[in-house]
Amino acid sequence: MEEIVDAISRAAVRIKRAIEFGDTSYSKSLNKTGDTQLKLDIASDLIIEEEFKKTLCVKAIISEEKETAQTLNEDGKYIVGYDPLDGSSLIDVNLAVGSIFAIYEKEADAKFITAAVYVVYGPRTEMVTAIDDVKLYRLDESSNFKEIKNIKLNKKGKLNASGGTQKGWADYHKKLIDDIFADGYRLRYSGGMVPDLHQILLKGGGLFSYPSTTDAPKGKLRLLFEVFPFAFVFEKAGGKAVDGKKRLLELEVSHIHDTSPCFFGSGDEIERVLNEYAKH
Ligand code: AHM
Ligand code: MG
């Protein structure tokens, strides 16, 4: 696992530089989800692929930016699912973006997730690893990630990050979100799941939701490289992660680009979600 975290650290330093000084224009290609790729999406994907190629324990990689899984080393133990540059449409307005990694053994399936790592490229570059516990690292002046602290969620938080087009929300979802705001929660939503979830993790708790909507009944966020890794991080930090009815880490994957509605948060907020959704 250390080898994988080292590869991610090296990739993060290179991606940070690419974000700061690279070409921020669009390419001519679409990814599997139909998004026009930024040149930076493609560059970040290549950087990660290059770093994992040097990492013998990685058997295969599955990227949001690639149509199919790619085998790197038949004898490797791990399959890494990743989103090289999540929230890349926020680059032009200079908001924080991130890279997300899920590390699976045997198969790319929630049952086999053994670790998750993400990197936030904001005013500072930070990395969070969830293996046995959840640890925050920060990039120092010599381009090394220095351990800062363990991350643990409180039972209840104060932030509410509510995603998805409101016009397409179910009535009961709207009621849930309205009730949470009525209880004094504050809106925090940048449109980048990495910084939005990072904020909830570091400020002690709250709720992030990306529900089913009329235009995206299965939500927007992808199981293998966005939903499962963050579900793993939240559970390891003492929080919960559900699709409205069940634990996200119990969902089955039929295709590598499958998506799901998702809710991540501290215990109390996720109980509220489950109670409201159980009525429908
Ligand atoms: P991306 O992988 O194409 O960048 O999309 C994922 C992002 C997440 O970071 C974020 O939570 C979500 O899309 C925001 O979507 P919306 O703009 O619909 O709120
Ligand atoms: Mg993404």
Test site for ligand 1: of 86, 100, 208, most ligand atoms within 8 A of the Cβ:
86
Atom of ligand 1 nearest to the CA of 196: 11
Q: What is the mean pLDDT of the chain?
A: 95
Query: Does the domain formed by 159-277 have CATH 3.40.190.80?
Result: yes
Superfamily of domain 2-150, CATH level 4:
Fructose-1,6-Bisphosphatase, subunit A, domain 1 (3.30.540.10)
Same-fold call for 2-150 versus 159-277:
no
Q: What is the pLDDT of residue 268?
A: 98
Q: What percent of the chain has pLDDT over 70?
A: 100
Q: Where are the domains of the chain?
A: 2-150, 159-277
pLDDT at position 112 is 98
What is the 3 state secondary structure string of the chain?
A: CHHHHHHHHHHHHHHHHHHHHCCCCEEEEECCCCCEEEHHHHHHHHHHHHHHHCCCCEEEEEECCCCCCEECCCCCCEEEEEEEEECHHHHHHCCCEEEEEEEEECCCCHHHEEEEEEEEECCCEEEEEECCCEEEEEECCCCCEEEEEECCCCCCCCEEEECCCHHHCCHHHHHHHHHHHHCCCEECCCCCHHHHHHHHHHCCCEEEEECCCCCCCCCCCEHHHHHHHHHHHHHHCCCEEECCCCEHHHCCCCCCCCECCEEEECHHHHHHHHHHHHCC
pLDDT digits (tens, 9 = 90+) for 115-148: 999 999 999 999 999 999 999 999 999 999 999 9
The per-residue pLDDT for range 154-194, each reduced to its tens digit, is 999 999 999 999 999 999 999 999 999 999 999 999 999 99
- What average pLDDT does the segment 42-46 reach? 94
**Predicted confidence (pLDDT) at residue 20 exceeds the cutoff of 80:** yes
Please identify every residue whose CB atom is under 5 Å from ligand 2, which is an ion. Answer: 83, 86
* Among protein residues, the one whose CA lies closest to atom 2 of ligand 1: 86
